[in-house]
Structure 1
């Protein structure tokens, strides 16, 4: 009776929270969501967050981040954008982080613009300097580098922090949900992510500018590797960032394909495979990557399985891709040869690192429909062969299908629609009163995909035929 009472109280509270939001229909009345501790959790991550990560990337909190930048430095970031919008030049500023009521402050931190399609000038138009009396603020994404100007300075053991605006996500949730699902499913290679509120003060202005709710994301860098050192053989291996064109098939080492990125005010050199290690190790790292690509593409059957078993954590990779496809991530390696990192540890073992998950959960493009697309035929097998080569081995294919089905299973607090909606509502409750901001942009939370997508019908918080969680679950082959 006590357990039944707990269920009833939980359901009433949930339905009350739902009724307070205009764009949500009632959740399935037949589903009673059990308390979280009673849901089965077969994939609790073996990766334990450090105390610093738990504090910084706390999905239960929405800390305030404040940047203070002098007028001269702020005008530099505007001028840098005008000279080369892709530049990675830092300006100097001050940083404050307030989670507990007492701000933690750092001086002499670096700030730069970041992003691809989301990269913007954060104020005004080309050629304009800062307007103190009538600023024209615009959402933009930033990298904060704590040690750029003070080489030993860190913030809760982190060297950098990504602050990303919710471009093309009226729901303010897609990437946060995605990284949370990776963690729930035990994919310890995925970065950490959570919410924050961002304020920028240009020194001398009458008041600071509130930029609204942002996403904090853990950069994939040396600190990321160190935080996972108990799983990677060491953090002294070879880390690469892979961008559009990274097919893991072509073995060319030409500068346009493999190198070390150099993006400045006058240079836009950014190879497809961007090596993140020491410059002196580039050539040996190229050879390592070429050998891996060659071996994967030249082997098949038992020989391929033996090689993969020795060079990859296959189950981790299959879990990663099961989550990737379930999320509807089309701008990925398999479909679009884009948006991932990979790491060779000191044992020459290859690890795939998922990255950039804002175009998910029904924001569909570059494929007919990311909701209904067959998870076994997700991408381009001929041109981007790594996943299909692995799935050509029956044991791996069966395990992949099992992971897909576990993700959508009602007894697990993973991708199942009702549990997903409950998490989204909980997060929305934490941020909804903080969305209005001084840019005047993105001021409404709306249950819609990006307006440029090819499937405008998808919703996350409905329970009809357009609910993405349900449609995606129906696309998954059964065991």
Structure 2
């Protein structure tokens, strides 16, 4: 059993007294705590793929993903984008491809894998018959897609038997039903910051997705075209939760929290009517998008949380407070301007089944540790923000409206919360995640494996190439981020 993974569970499965220093000792072994489900045990439950899951996401692994897709299917993805974009929506339709994973020289082939465009602001036209591919996009793969929905497919797949269809519905790769593939849109020349971010969260007990770099190739005409180095990300879903939580915590409500042009997922009363289940065909995108328990759900837990946070009432029984304070401390240290606190999005809320308490899960953290290209709202990569700042990326220096943030981690919040938050920040700063030489080791591993894979072979797409370069030219250097953030912390942590 991995000590890091057990430590993750020790934070989640315990209710701490507010003000305590976060535990750093290893959690008990499985025989001492039946609620703890190890990664290996859980992956045995999910198609016996624990070894493949670990190997796929191992930073030392060499991973190549080769997608073979008919040009007609690629054209349909483009057409789907145009159709749904015209009505202000996003296509949910998966088209058919064959996908080959080559992991450290071992080949894993999956036929009839669903593939579609993914993302929000990254969605764009990317293909036409004359040029072929001319723009990189993010993709989502589905290994369970059946291609038989008559509403989406002109020639729905006819299954030989119910058993064959059921088998497809249960199919996974490395214990995952879906996989996100994202190009390096932030042009992080280290290809390592988002990985470092999620590893930091996980090491302190916060649930976070796995991510790894991969060489992405796509064949739609005669030969495979090299699309450079992509990121493969674990999706946050029920299987994600099963790998990390004991059985008594499973089965709760999971919400993906997005952004809108008003107050996003700020947990204010203005957002309480923005809870629902996403429907792309109806162009309906609630800020709080329910991903589990969708049938006849009245969203009582989330509505109660929002209502209570916006009253002069004790809310601590509705949130796993120790977990949340750790979450906010690590969020502050990684410096993402586009998160729960600063831009009111890019997180999941999960309500633990047995306690009904909320915990928070980060996602889409591709602007951390000094990524400043295209957007640098603070002017210095978020390094000058005080740990207690009410400043957000939405307005002025005192524009924080999230009641959970205001009641816990900014000046004026209860001293017990602030002390616990401060202790986590100081502890985390002393770990490897705030050591430039440790980050550089990961960068060197990535560079050695993928340095020869970054060159895109499609004519005219050179703009998208991002070369490995530790002395970054488009973003703040990692060591500069650490230096700036550390200076600010030392100057303000005891204010």
TM-score (norm 1): 0.78
CA contact (8 A) 2:67 2:97 kept: yes
* Cα deviation digits, residues 426-459 of structure 1 (max 9, x gap): 33332222111224322423457796xxxx6x21
How many Å apart are 1:173 and its aligned residue? Answer: 2.5
Instruction: Please state whether the residue corresponding to 1:473 is helix, strand or coil.
Output: helix
Q: 2:468 is matched with which residue?
A: 445
* Cα deviation digits, residues 292-347 of structure 1 (max 9, x gap): 112223235xxx3xx41x33332222222111111111111111111111111223
User: Is the aligned partner of 1:321 residue 2:328?
Assistant: yes
CA contact (8 A) 1:109 1:145 kept: yes
User: Is the aligned partner of 1:142 residue 2:139?
Assistant: yes
CA contact (8 A) 1:170 1:448 kept: no
Q: 2:19 is matched with which residue?
A: none
CA contact (8 A) 2:196 2:433 kept: no
Q: 2:212 is matched with which residue?
A: 194
CA contact (8 A) 1:168 1:450 kept: no
**Using a 3 Å threshold, how does the CA distance of structure 1 residues 190 and 443 change in structure 2: closer, same or farther?**
closer
**Using a 3 Å threshold, how does the CA distance of structure 1 residues 181 and 44 change in structure 2: closer, same or farther?**
farther
How many Å apart are 1:143 and its aligned residue? Answer: 0.5
* Cα deviation digits, residues 353-406 of structure 1 (max 9, x gap): 111111122235334541111121154564112122123121221111111112
CA contact (8 A) 1:169 1:358 kept: no
How many Å apart are 1:474 and its aligned residue? Answer: 1.3
Q: 1:234 is matched with which residue?
A: 249
Q: Distance in 2 between matches of 1:180 and 1:45?
A: 18
**Paired residues, what number?**
404
Equivalences for residues 103-252 of structure 1 within 5 A: 103-123=107-127, 128-129=128-129, 131=130, 135-149=132-146, 150-171=168-189, 172-187=191-206, 189-202=207-220, 205-230=221-246, 233-244=248-259, 245-250=264-269
TM-score (norm 2): 0.76
Equivalences for residues 41-120 of structure 1 within 5 A: 42=24, 49-50=39-40, 51=50, 52-85=52-85, 86-120=90-124
Q: Distance in 1 between matches of 2:185 and 2:25?
A: 31
Instruction: Please state whether the residue corresponding to 1:84 is helix, strand or coil.
Output: helix
CA contact (8 A) 2:188 2:371 kept: no
CA contact (8 A) 1:249 1:297 kept: yes
CA contact (8 A) 2:390 2:400 kept: no
Q: 1:10 is matched with which residue?
A: none
Q: 1:355 is matched with which residue?
A: 363
* Cα deviation digits, residues 160-182 of structure 1 (max 9, x gap): 00111110223122212211222
Q: Distance in 2 between matches of 1:378 and 1:431?
A: 41
User: Is the aligned partner of 1:274 residue 2:289?
Assistant: yes
**Using a 3 Å threshold, how does the CA distance of structure 1 residues 67 and 282 change in structure 2: closer, same or farther?**
same
User: Is the aligned partner of 1:366 residue 2:377?
Assistant: yes
Q: Distance in 1 between matches of 2:321 and 2:434?
A: 22
Q: Distance in 1 between matches of 2:449 and 2:201?
A: 21
**Using a 3 Å threshold, how does the CA distance of structure 1 residues 413 and 382 change in structure 2: closer, same or farther?**
closer
How many Å apart are 1:348 and its aligned residue? Answer: 0.9
Q: 1:474 is matched with which residue?
A: 487
CA contact (8 A) 1:162 1:219 kept: yes
Instruction: Please state whether the residue corresponding to 2:360 is helix, strand or coil.
Output: strand
CA contact (8 A) 1:342 1:353 kept: yes
CA contact (8 A) 1:251 1:294 kept: no
How many Å apart are 1:45 and its aligned residue? Answer: 8.7
How many Å apart are 1:137 and its aligned residue? Answer: 3.5
How many Å apart are 1:253 and its aligned residue? Answer: 4.4
Q: Distance in 2 between matches of 1:44 and 1:113?
A: 41
Q: Distance in 2 between matches of 1:182 and 1:390?
A: 19
Gaps of 5+ in 1: 1-40, 462-466
